[in-house]
C-alpha cells in the first residue's frame, strides 16, 4: 500500500490530540519506533492498526491516506475530528439513477405528492426511477440532471401547494449558497423545499427556514440528507413561473410541457 499522505497526517493528528509517539504506541501495543517509522514514511501500519487510527482520529481511512489534512481549513478539520467526516464534496461514489428517451436524452423524473414517501427509499434504484412518470423540458440546460417534485403545504410562498418544483442535482454540497432555495430528500422529513443557512460545515447541521414566517427555522443533521437539488423553476397549475427565471417567449412551450406533465401523470399513476 502506498502511503501517500498517511505519514504527515498521522503526525498532524497525533499532535492535535496532544499525544506523544509513546502514547500512540501504547494504544496500539506496538513500539514507539514503529510509530516513528510510520510518520517518517519508512514503514506502513497493518490494516488492523490503520483501522484503529481511523477510529481514534475519527477520520475515514480514505481521507487519512489520500488527503493532505494540513491543507484543510481549521474549521473543517475540527468538524472532521468531531466525527463529522462526510463526503460533502461528492468526490466519492453517489448513486444517481436517471433515464433517457429514444434519442438518448436524459429525462426528468416526476415525483408527485403520493410518490414522495416511496422516493426516499427508491431514489437510488434505477428500476424504481424508470417506473416514475417522466417528461422532457427542452428549455432547461442539458448539462444538468433534474428532478420535478410536487410540493405540498404553504411554507414557501409564492410557491403554492401542489406546484412542481424542478431542481438540478447538487453533487458538491460545499457550493451551497446561504439563504438559497434547495430541495432536500431525507428519510425523516421526506422531500422538502427550504432555504439553507447556518454554519453547517462547522457543526454538521443545516438550518432550514421557510419564506412563510409562520414556520420557524429548525435544525436538521446534514448527514441525514440523502440528496440535495438546487431550485431552478416551479410550475403551478396556472402555469405561473418564478419571476425572472424564464424568458416570456418560452411560455407557450412551458404550457405545452405542463399539459404533457398532466397527461403523463394520468397515464402513469404515482408509485407509492
Burial of 144 (0-12, 13-18, 19+ CB in 10 A): middle
- Per the listing, cell 419564506 goes with 211
Domain boundaries, the chain: 6-81, 108-267
The fold of the 6-81 domain, in CATH, is: 434 Repressor (Amino-terminal Domain) (1.10.260)
SS3 60: coil
**43-74, pLDDT tens digit by residue?**
999 999 999 999 899 888 888 998 899 988 77
Distance CA 36, CA 21 (A): 7
pTM, rounded to two decimals: 0.66
**Using an 8 Å Cβ cutoff, are 205 and 217 in contact?**
no
Q: Does domain 108-267 have CATH number 3.40.190.290?
A: no
Contacts (Cβ under 8 Å, ≥6 apart) of 259: none
**Which tens digits make up the pLDDT trace of 118-163?**
898 888 888 899 889 888 888 888 889 999 999 999 999 999 999 9
Amino acid at each position: 500500500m502506498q502511503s501517500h499522505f498517511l505519514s504527515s497526517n498521522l503526525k498532524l493528528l497525533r499532535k492535535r490530540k496532544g499525544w506523544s509517539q509513546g502514547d500512540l504506541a501504547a494504544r496500539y501495543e506496538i513500539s514507539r519506533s514503529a510509530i516513528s517509522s510510520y510518520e517518517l514514511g519508512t514503514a506502513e501500519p497493518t490494516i488492523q492498526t490503520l483501522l484503529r487510527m481511523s477510529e481514534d482520529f475519527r477520520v475515514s481511512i480514505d481521507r487519512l491516506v489520500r488527503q493532505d489534512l494540513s491543507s484543510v481549513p481549521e474549521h473543517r478539520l475540527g468538524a472532521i475530528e468531531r466525527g463529522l467526516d462526510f463526503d460533502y464534496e461528492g468526490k466519492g461514489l453517489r448513486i444517481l439513477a436517471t433515464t433517457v428517451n429514444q434519442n438518448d436524452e436524459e429525462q426528468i423524473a416526476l415525483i408527485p405528492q403520493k410518490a414522495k414517501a416511496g422516493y426516499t427509499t427508491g431514489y437510488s434504484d434505477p428500476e424504481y426511477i424508470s417506473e416514475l412518470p417522466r417528461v422532457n423540458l427542452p428549455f432547461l440546460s442539458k448539462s444538468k440532471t433534474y428532478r420535478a417534485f410536487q410540493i405540498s403545504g404553504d411554507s414557501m410562498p409564492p410557491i403554492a401547494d401542489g406546484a412542481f418544483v424542478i431542481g438540478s442535482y447538487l453533487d458538491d454540497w460545499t457550493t451551497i449558497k446561504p439563504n438559497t432555495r434547495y430541495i432536500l430528500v431525507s428519510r425523516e422529513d421526506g422531500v422538502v423545499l427550504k432555504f439553507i443557512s447556518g454554519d453547517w460545515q462547522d457543526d454538521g447541521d443545516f438550518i432550514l427556514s421557510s419564506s412563510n414566517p409562520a414556520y420557524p427555522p429548525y435544525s436538521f443533521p446534514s448527514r441525514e440528507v440523502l440528496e440535495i437539488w438546487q431550485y431552478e423553476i416551479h410550475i403551478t397549475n396556472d402555469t405561473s413561473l418564478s419571476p425572472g427565471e424564464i424568458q416570456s417567449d418560452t411560455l407557450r412551450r412551458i404550457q405545452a410541457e405542463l399539459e404533457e406533465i398532466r397527461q403523463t401523470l394520468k397515464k402513469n399513476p404515482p408509485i407509492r
